[in-house]
């Protein structure tokens, strides 16, 4: 969280993309969604998933979605 917040603290224009292992994504998702860390919130199997959070306030904009079909909600 410290490293993600350090990146987000830079008030640069545009979106920020974090790419990493799914477990790290799940930790970020749980934190920004206000959920306790739990595998029930884990990304779907198979990899290639994403979620979006607001830069200001960090609220979740959408849950896990497939990178190949970003309009399709999964999990």
Q: What is the pLDDT of residues 40-58, one digit of tens each?
A: 898 888 778 999 999 888 9
39 lies in some domain: yes
Q: Is residue 30 part of a domain?
A: yes
pTM for the full model? 0.82
Separation of alpha carbons 64 and 6, rounded Å: 23
pLDDT by residue (tens digit) across 5-26? 999 999 889 999 999 888 899 9
Domain contains 9:
yes
Residue 71 belongs to some domain of the structure: no
| Residue 74 forms part of a structural domain | no
Full domain range(s) for residue 33: 2-66
Q: Number of folded domains in the chain?
A: 1
Question: How high is the pLDDT of residue 48?
Answer: 85
Note whether residue 72 is domain-resident. Answer: no
73 occurs within a structural domain: no
| Cβ 26 vs Cβ 42: under 8 Å | yes
- Is residue 75, in this structure, part of any structural domain at all? no
């Amino acid at each position: 969280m410290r490293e993600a917040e350090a990146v987000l603290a830079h008030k640069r224009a545009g979106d920020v993309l974090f790419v990493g292992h799914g477990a790290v994504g799940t930790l970020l998702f749980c934190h920004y969604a206000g959920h306790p860390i739990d595998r029930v919130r884990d990304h779907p199997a198979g990899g290639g998933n994403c979620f979006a959070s607001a830069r200001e306030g960090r609220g979740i904009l959408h849950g896990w979605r497939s990178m190949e079909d970003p309009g399709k909600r999964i999990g």
